[in-house]
Amino acid sequence: MTTMQNPAGGIPQVTAQTVTGAGVPAVTPATPAVRRSEPYMRLQWNDSATGAIGYLVVHTLRSGLATGGTRMRAGCTLSEVEDLARGMANKTATFDLPVGGAKGGIDFDPKDPRAVEVLERFCEAMRPWLDRHWVTAEDLGVPQHLIDEVFGRLGLGQSFHAAIGRSDDPAATLARVRAGLKAEVEGGFELGDVIGGYGVAHSCLAAAVSWGQVPSETTVAIQGVGTMGGSAAYYLHEAGMKVTTVADAAGTLYSADGLDVPALLALRDGYGEIDRSRLPDGVEQLPRAAILSADADILVPAAISYAITPDNSYDVRARVVVEAANAATTPEAEAMLAARGIPVLPDFVANAGAVAWAWWLLLGQVDDAPDTSFDRLRTVMHTKVAQLMAAWTEEGVTPRETGHRWADEPAPTVSPVVIP
């Protein structure tokens, strides 16, 4: 194990094949959720079998816990994982969840036939944290069912293991979590797969309401039709919004009259790409980059981080950007958009429905009844987005700045986490 001071000093960076939980208490009182400039901890793992590199960044630790998904993509970097972990810390603080923020990332192609083995070795290396302190879940390149299968083989049950193990009745909590994740909803989906996209959809709806526009007169462009983007598109379509443009890795699809979203989603493969050989009539195929310049009221980047940069920000024609992907807009690009009068609803609000719901489920505040979860998330999202948009239109304060102010407020919960 090698320990290095980070450039700012004070917080050690640890590089290791395996890690220990030494020095991290099992249960500590929840401290105020104040944003940190530097992560609590960085870990790097090197896979000798494939050359893959994995990272765990814990940005904040509250009650001895941090939460955040694990992603896999070729080219994933430590700085990317740090940004994502910081975003998770903002999400948990903004939604007053009694847990800190973290993120895992693996630099490896998820389509490689060895990808599952790499994920399993990464989780085994991070086991001390996964066992007691890090609650992880799906992310780009890693679907929830896959990470749960890996946890099962490692004897950890399910990816929420670190929190479930603290409950008074772990077996009952695990049963509640599994029932909630697998609850069937309209459209043939499972609640755990669509709840995040449902929250994004209602972020979009709340933004339209803020400028007095009805859903049927609002157009949307969505970059990415995987778990998050696909479910957001589905619920926007169900709400009556006109989804005119969607994009996946193969390109952009467009219809001025609105796409048949359910039909397109039915053509997806396991990687969230739409089969072009079976497209409905009237769908125009455009280059992948065309999604950013789509003539739509709302742009939803729901695929990759850093999708909107200074180089392409001037292509954006939307009235508002709603970040469904984590860190979808670089800070420089966001400033350029704001200067043009285009606000960005930040990821740590717009796409936080999945993590907020997961913790409501863990804490027993919702169960496997989808309507209960949908009602609560819809109410929370509309309230928060209305406040973000009001600060933007009335005071010129960007939504991210308002969200950061929320995250910096002292958390009212100061007792240890109690999971029933």
Report the C-alpha gap between 173 and 294 in whole angstroms: 44
For residue 419, give the nearest of 216, 168, 244, 206 by alpha carbon: 168
pLDDT at residue number 272: 82
Average pLDDT over residues 349-370: 96
Higher pLDDT, 373 or 29: 373
Residue 301 φ then ψ, to 5°: -75, 115
Pairing state of beta strands 53-58 and 100-107? antiparallel
- Estimate the crossing angle of helix 115-125 against helix 144-153, to 10 degrees: 60
pLDDT at residue number 408: 82
Q: Is the pLDDT of residue 346 over 90?
A: yes
Average pLDDT over residues 357-366: 96
Residue 307 contacts residue 328 (beta carbons within 8 Å):
yes
Mean pLDDT of the chain: 89
pLDDT at residue number 27: 36
Average pLDDT over residues 35-45: 86
Query: What class does CATH assign to 8-166?
Result: alpha beta
Report the C-alpha gap between 403 and 290 in whole angstroms: 30
Residues near 185 by beta carbon (within 8 Å), at least 6 away in sequence: 191, 194, 370
pLDDT band for position 16 (cuts 50, 70, 90): very low
Q: What is the pLDDT of residues 127-149, one digit of tens each?
A: 999 999 999 999 999 999 999 99
pLDDT band for position 153 (cuts 50, 70, 90): very high
Per CATH, 8-166 and 189-408 having the same topology is answered yes
Report the C-alpha gap between 353 and 92 in whole angstroms: 11
Task: Calculate ∠ Cα 174-176-177, nearest 5°.
Answer: 65
Strand partners, 62: 65
- C-alpha distances out from residue 176 to 61, 109, 271, 331, 360, Å: 25, 33, 28, 39, 11
Q: Is the pLDDT of residue 18 over 90?
A: no
pLDDT at residue number 416: 56
Residue 223 contacts residue 292 (beta carbons within 8 Å):
yes
DSSP helix/strand/coil, 2: strand
Residue type (1 letter), 143: P
Average pLDDT over residues 243-249: 97
Q: Is the pLDDT of residue 15 over 60?
A: no
Residue 166 contacts residue 133 (beta carbons within 8 Å):
no
Find how far residue 305's CA is from the centre of its chain.
10
Average pLDDT over residues 229-248: 97
Q: Is the pLDDT of residue 328 over 50?
A: yes
CATH number of 189-408: 3.40.50.720
Residue 222 contacts residue 229 (beta carbons within 8 Å):
yes
Report the C-alpha gap between 176 and 56 in whole angstroms: 27
pLDDT at residue number 5: 31
Sign of the torsion angle spanned by Cα atoms 405, 410, 412, 414: positive
Q: Which residue has the tokens 């998820």?
A: 110
DSSP secondary structure string, 167-199? SSSHHHHHHHHHHHHH-EETTTEEHHHHHHHHH
DSSP helix/strand/coil, 122: helix
Residue 57 contacts residue 102 (beta carbons within 8 Å):
yes
Residue 357 tokens read as: 């719901």
Sign of the torsion angle spanned by Cα atoms 94, 102, 110, 115: negative
**Domain boundaries in the chain?**
8-166, 189-408
Residue 225 φ then ψ, to 5°: -130, 35
Average pLDDT over residues 183-188: 93
pLDDT at residue number 418: 66
Residue 77 tokens read as: 């970097």
DSSP secondary structure string, 71-121? EEETT--HHHHHHHHHHHHHHHHHTT-SSEEEEEEEES-TTSTTHHHHHHH
Pairing state of beta strands 298-301 and 219-223? parallel
Average pLDDT over residues 301-307: 94
Q: What is the pLDDT of residues 52-102, one digit of tens each?
A: 999 999 999 998 999 999 999 999 999 999 999 999 999 999 999 999 999
Average pLDDT over residues 362-376: 96
The DSSP code for 411 is P
Q: Is the pLDDT of residue 358 over 60?
A: yes
Full-model pTM: 0.87
Report the C-alpha gap between 83 and 51 in whole angstroms: 23
Q: Is the pLDDT of residue 344 over 50?
A: yes
